[in-house]
Chain A
Amino acid sequence: MAQAERLSTWQTFQQRTKHGDVIFWLLTLFFALMVVALVAAVGYVAWVGSSEARGRFGLSFLFKTGWDPNAQNFGALPAIYGTLVSSGIALLIAGPLGILIGVFLSELCPQRFKSPLSFMVELLAAIPSVIYGMWGVFVFVPFFRSWVAAPIAKSVGKSFPLLAGPVAAGRGLMVAGIILAIMILPTIAAITRDVLAVVPNHQREAMLAVGATRWEMIRKAVLPYARAGIIGGLMLGLGRALGETMAALMVIGSVKDKISTSLFGGGITAASLVASELPNANDSMHESTLILIALVLFGITLCVNAFARLLVWQAARGPVGSARS
């Protein structure tokens, strides 16, 4: 009798809680799977939409130059080259700068300047890309052409084709890379600052206690500890540069049919090529080719992300036995 009563008390408790975890689990599972489904859907649309172009050009599309919608002669190499080179330049410039900014903000900045400076860095990330592009066109391109590109092309460029002239309008891969660098700088700086902020203080004290200077402490204890996170930040920045459309389009020079040997020459990125031509594609072949370009960009970013995963995984591994599972 008493036992039955006790059991029914338990049941009232159990009824309230029984299904909660299952529903919660299903709900989160659903949203997690939705991410996978979205990636698959995007890939599928690009794959199907580009079937005409794939059928016509095959794999050689990736290694061919040329862009003539009237003759239906297309090649993706200039767009691939332009995407990788402009993003590479951006990463080369913004990587070291962003890491140093992050180090300053997290380790060296006096307390009262910390939040204003952090705010400015984050503000830089909030500026729409078209404004960067406009600033690039009206301010940076003219400056860069007459003060940097022209002198370099005239001197070093004579014996070094990568930096040769003609500089012409000033738009090109180098300028695009620099504008992209400014755009991804805040991402890298902010992530570096955040991952350095969670390095435990006892690691810093361990270095200081053996007579390390501030710099030695940062180099030997703080940066290695945060290495995986910093690489993650770099890859996030690179991802942003690879996919950036508007700003790159405005300053890169839109040379679609050939690869310029010089970084001062014009070029095109995959994203800006699609954005600029898709609204006025002449025919289904042209459209299909642009979708194929998008598919190629998709592939590039997937490869970069996979590579980044590998790097982060490698970097997170310290000596034997220190691995974070």
Chain B
Amino acid sequence: MNTQTIESQQVTLQKLTPFYGATQAVQPVDVVIRPRSVTAIIGPSGCGKSTVLRCLNRMHEVVPNARVEGTVLLGEHNIYGSGIEPQAVRRRIGMVFQQPNPLRMLSIFENVAIGLRLEGYARNIIDERVEQSLRAAALWDEVKDKLNHSGLALSGGQQQRLCIARAIALQPEVLLLDEPCSALDPVSTYKIEELLIELKQNYTIVIVTHNMQQAARIADRTLVFMVERTQGRPIGVLVEEDDTNKIFTAPRDPRTEDYISGRVG
């Protein structure tokens, strides 16, 4: 399905530092996110995990006054390089949000097709890609008879899979998910986790989650963020990055151990 080479799907963060106005939100982050694997970002509230995630497809700068220092490489290209449009970045790095957000006035079909329509694809290609994406998101069988219905008529879990289908319809290199299951019941959560394990064959997946069991179940690598206080101001910091089973069985950093054992956070 993907024509990209595996190297082009690697994401490298170099001294990535998000700001809100003059306030630095997170200490500079240096991490290599491995291609075609699932990387989980965990940590307590306010540690900047969503902020870092949103820096990876330039959604951070949508917030007024927000800005980013440092570099994010997709393959070997800096997505913050001069002359790079954020729209182009977002086409190649898809995103799924915490709250399922099908576009209200569009049908299920159009919700998946919207990115392709913006690109001006031909109709037959759109038809094909919509079906492909809905199948990949394990939603096709549930919606194939009501493609012209509203996305809002679906259950929460279905809506979230619709949003995943919308993101992968553009065949991005990377898929970012910001706590995609926090509004869902366990069965829907399970389905999405299965889906992500399936999707990592083609996509580099980064998922922010509050749920440590979820990270343990699906992630190959895990990043642990913590909140620190410098001069009274809270600031996020990446404390540990390792294979998921190492993080959960033999964490190197005592703060990680405190967090995953439930003593803090």
Identify the A interface with B (CB < 8 A): 111, 200, 202-203, 205-213, 216, 220-221, 224-225, 227, 318-322
Identify the B interface with A (CB < 8 A): 57, 59, 62, 64, 87-88, 90-91, 94-97, 99, 101-108, 110, 114-115, 118-119, 146, 148-153, 163, 166-167, 170
Docked-complex contact B103 and A321, CB < 8 angstroms: no
Docked-complex contact A320 and B148, CB < 8 angstroms: yes
- Excluding A111-B64, A205-B101, A318-B105, 19 further A-B contacts by CB distance (< 8 Å) are A200-B101, A203-B103, A206-B97, A206-B102, A206-B163, A208-B90, A209-B59, A209-B96, A209-B97, A210-B114, A210-B170, A211-B119, A212-B118, A224-B106, A318-B152, A320-B107, A320-B153, A321-B153, A322-B150
User: Given the complex of chains A and B, what is the CA–CA distance between A209 and B94 in angstroms?
Assistant: 6
- Chain B: which residue is nearest A110 at the CB level? B64
A210 contacts which of B62, B102, B115, B152 (Cβ < 8 Å)? Answer: B115
Docked-complex contact A320 and B90, CB < 8 angstroms: no
| Chain A residues with CB under 8 A of B110 | 319
Docked-complex contact A224 and B87, CB < 8 angstroms: no
CB A195 to nearest CB in B, in angstroms, measures: 13
A206 contacts which of B101, B146, B149, B170 (Cβ < 8 Å)? Answer: B101
Total cross-chain contacts (CB, 8 A): 94
Docked-complex contact B57 and A319, CB < 8 angstroms: no
Docked-complex contact B166 and A210, CB < 8 angstroms: yes
Docked-complex contact B87 and A220, CB < 8 angstroms: no
User: Given the complex of chains A and B, what is the CA–CA distance between A220 and B153 in angstroms?
Assistant: 20
CB B178 to nearest CB in A, in angstroms, measures: 10
Docked-complex contact B105 and A210, CB < 8 angstroms: no
User: Given the complex of chains A and B, what is the CA–CA distance between A202 and B166 in angstroms?
Assistant: 14
Docked-complex contact B57 and A320, CB < 8 angstroms: no
* Listed A/B pairs (30) with beta-carbon separation below 8 Å: A202-B101, A203-B103, A205-B95, A206-B166, A208-B59, A209-B90, A209-B96, A209-B97, A210-B94, A210-B114, A210-B166, A210-B170, A211-B87, A211-B88, A211-B119, A211-B170, A212-B87, A220-B114, A220-B118, A224-B103, A224-B105, A225-B105, A227-B105, A319-B148, A320-B149, A321-B152, A321-B153, A322-B105, A322-B150, A322-B152
User: Given the complex of chains A and B, what is the CA–CA distance between A205 and B53 in angstroms?
Assistant: 14
Docked-complex contact A210 and B91, CB < 8 angstroms: yes
Docked-complex contact B91 and A211, CB < 8 angstroms: yes
| Chain A residues with CB under 8 A of B118 | 210-212, 216, 220
User: Given the complex of chains A and B, what is the CA–CA distance between A220 and B59 in angstroms?
Assistant: 18
Most buried by B among A208, A211, A216, A224: A211
The list of the 3 closest CB pairs from A to B, nearest first, reads A321-B153, A322-B150, A210-B115
| Chain A residues with CB under 8 A of B96 | 209
| Chain A residues with CB under 8 A of B59 | 205, 208-209
| Chain A residues with CB under 8 A of B101 | 200, 202-203, 205-206
Docked-complex contact B150 and A321, CB < 8 angstroms: yes
| Chain B residues with CB under 8 A of A203 | 101, 103-104
Most buried by B among A111, A205, A206, A209: A209
A319 contacts which of B64, B87, B91, B149 (Cβ < 8 Å)? Answer: B149
| Chain A residues with CB under 8 A of B64 | 111
| Chain A residues with CB under 8 A of B99 | 202
User: Given the complex of chains A and B, what is the CA–CA distance between A209 and B172 in angstroms?
Assistant: 11
| Chain A residues with CB under 8 A of B152 | 318, 321-322
| Chain B residues with CB under 8 A of A319 | 105-108, 110, 148-150
User: Given the complex of chains A and B, what is the CA–CA distance between A213 and B95 in angstroms?
Assistant: 16
User: Given the complex of chains A and B, what is the CA–CA distance between A280 and B202 in angstroms?
Assistant: 84
Docked-complex contact A209 and B57, CB < 8 angstroms: yes
